[in-house]
Amino acid sequence: MHKEAAIREPLILGHKTFSDVTEDVCRPIEDKAPKTWYVLFGIALIIGIYGIGCILYLLGTGVGVWGLNKTIGWAWDITNFVWWVGIGHAGTLISAVLLLFRQKWRMAINRSAEAMTIFAVFMAGLFPLIHMGRIWVGYWVMPLPNQFGSLWVNFNSPLLWDVFAISTYLSVSLVFWYIGLIPDFATIRDRAKKPVSKKMYGILSFGWSGRAKHWNRFELISLVLAGLATPLVFSVHSIVSFDFATSVIPGWHTTIFPPYFVAGAVFSGFAMVQTLMLVMRKAMNLEAYIHTRHVEYMNIVIMVTGSIVGTAYITELFVSWYSGVEYEAYAFINRATGPYWWAYASMMTCNVISPQLMWFRKLRRSLIFTFIISIVVNIGMWFERYVIIVTSIHRDYLPSSWSMHYPSHIDIGVYVGTIGLFFVFFLLFARYFPVLPIAEIKSILKSSGESYKNSPNTHKETVKPTPFIQNVKEVKAKLTRDELSAKTMALISKLGAVSEETKDNLKLISGVGPVLEGKLNKIGIYTYLQVSKMTTEEYHLLDELTGSSKGRSERDDWAGQVKKLMNKSNNQ
């Protein structure tokens, strides 16, 4: 078995067992959604619907409703497209490139980062589609002969390369993501109590049974898809950059674009992952799986790619002067000192200066700081695309056609709408899908989990999780076995001792799963009547004994719940 150095921080904190992993990931899916989820979902949905309204208005009226003009033919539309595609780079990078490099920390974030990727590419794909104006003939980008002859789409054009690149990227990412999801859907299916969710997750899990041969194939297909997706990640944004680099516009016609765009994409993608993960880990109680160490790793990636982007900006500036081409030089002087200087300045501050702060260990391990920087970076990366696109074309070769770009409210509405739609998708994902790869996390539990990590051998005697007493001892080192039994006695004397034969189904209490039920039974709590007697004091005793999260049982009001359950069974 692969072993990790003992001085490395464990990737999974808190002495988790296999079933704890299942429990922690499935619980938010099985429980009722919290109020905040509904509020956020409502807000996102309203914004998304507004965006769809703007798109429909645009389709009915024409692309003229955007603030484009003769000189500035591309502005917010392509800026948003490139911005979203860029954000959509982190997911596959995390799950493919980091898989090839055997980076285990990716497992905490790859599932949701990939979901984010897919939704971001959806949003990106919207912009070229609506930019066509007549979206109903969108299929013309496919290699179909023109119905009036045999004219084909132009395979020499980077715009067509883009069609192939984006659609390949989207569909391959989707397949990669889904193949990883299948075993986890099976886990949810096998735990599901309600017939509807059992049926739904049964369909989604494709009848996965976890046979050895299937796992063998699963591991290989993950590896090969990762191998295929890795060059794909780099190719997609390279091809997006060809849209600009192969043109003859000063400021666009740059050979540095492909690597610079790819670095920028990874940069902004990781920033978006940080924004989402920092909220998600808190909201879904996943702090044990996505902790400071993971955030720090991602911040290092942001720092490195941010530095590459900064170098690219400066190289570009230098080459525009060194080339001796007046037009090229003017394009860059105009960027920095022309009427769009503020966009250039925000791009430079957000993208070049802010990631450099990550050199400080204190800062890159600070969650609040990371959250702020992640948003700053995404703003900066939006400005980068805006600067590249608009400032390069707003003053062309003919001064009489020089112009400025002013976004119309439809421009803004469509852009904000895509952010809303993105969050609609992401919130649905967080609600109904396993946000961590359950199977993969379990497979690294023994090499990177806290209880297993530094034990001399990972074998039964030392490792086998004897859940109850041993775990409590580790979590709260002060409690000895005697104290424990004293506390158990105290608790049971208050609740009344009963024998196992009169056992009730404690799993019906929301917040109690099979594991916790086992723990309760071990303490000697078997019936509703016992639970119904619990007050604050007993809750505290119980939390100490089970070692489960503080105050959870009290918040869920177990006593109140069982009283209802008891009434129900009395009425029947």
Residue type, 231: P
Kindly tell me which of 18 and 327 has the beta carbon lying closer to another protein. 18
Using CA atoms, how far residue 197 sits from 52, 405, 550, in Å, is: 30, 50, 29
Q: 3-class DSSP state for residue 309?
A: helix
Kindly tell me which of 377 and 445 has the beta carbon lying closer to another protein. 445
Under the binding rule (CB under 8 A), the answer on residue 106 touching another protein is no
Give the shortest CB-521-to-another protein separation in angstroms: 17
Give the shortest CB-289-to-another protein separation in angstroms: 15
Give the shortest CB-323-to-another protein separation in angstroms: 22
Contact string (CB under 8 A) for another protein, positions 5-44, x = contact: ------------xxx--x----------------------
Tell which positions 413-452 bind another protein, by CB under 8 A: 438-440, 442-443, 446
* H-only helix segments in 16-157: 18-30, 35-61, 76-87, 90-92, 98-100, 106-131
Kindly tell me which of 228 and 333 has the beta carbon lying closer to another protein. 228
What is the token pair recorded at 440?
A: 């993969």
Give the shortest CB-93-to-another protein separation in angstroms: 15
Interatomic CA distance for residues 480 and 470, integer angstroms: 10
Contacts of 258 (CB under 8 A, 6+ apart): 237, 238, 241, 242, 245
Kindly tell me which of 84 and 208 has the beta carbon lying closer to another protein. 208
Kindly tell me which of 172 and 534 has the beta carbon lying closer to another protein. 172
Choices 99-107, 174-182, 309-317, 479-487 (CB under 8 A): range interacting with another protein: 174-182
Under the binding rule (CB under 8 A), the answer on residue 539 touching another protein is no
Going by the DSSP 8-state scheme, the letter that residue 2 receives in this structure is: -
Give the shortest CB-39-to-another protein separation in angstroms: 32
Kindly tell me which of 81 and 452 has the beta carbon lying closer to another protein. 452
Kindly tell me which of 265 and 272 has the beta carbon lying closer to another protein. 265
Query: Site size for another protein, by CB under 8 A?
Result: 73
Tell which positions 240-279 bind another protein, by CB under 8 A: 242
Under the binding rule (CB under 8 A), the answer on residue 301 touching another protein is no
Q: 3-class DSSP state for residue 562?
A: helix
Question: Of 522, 508, 554, 512, nearest to 535 (Cα)?
Answer: 554
* H-only helix segments in 433-557: 438-448, 450-453, 460-463, 467-475, 481-495, 514-523, 528-532, 536-546, 552-555
Give the shortest CB-451-to-another protein separation in angstroms: 13
Torsion angle defined by CA atoms of residues 417, 418, 420 and 425, in that order, rounded to the nearest 10 degrees: 140
Kindly tell me which of 190 and 554 has the beta carbon lying closer to another protein. 190
Choices 33-41, 288-296, 458-466, 564-572 (CB under 8 A): range interacting with another protein: 458-466
Q: 3-class DSSP state for residue 104?
A: coil
Chosen residue from 31, 219, 483, 537 binding another protein by CB under 8 A? 219
Under the binding rule (CB under 8 A), the answer on residue 46 touching another protein is no
Using CA atoms, how far residue 526 sits from 381, 467, 492, in Å, is: 57, 18, 11
Give the shortest CB-438-to-another protein separation in angstroms: 8
> By the 8 A CB rule, do 452 and 42 touch?
no
> By the 8 A CB rule, do 488 and 539 touch?
no
Chosen residue from 63, 97, 160, 475 binding another protein by CB under 8 A? 160
Kindly tell me which of 124 and 295 has the beta carbon lying closer to another protein. 124
Contacts of 321 (CB under 8 A, 6+ apart): 329, 332
Under the binding rule (CB under 8 A), the answer on residue 187 touching another protein is yes
Question: Of 121, 127, 118, 117, nearest to 78 (Cα)?
Answer: 127
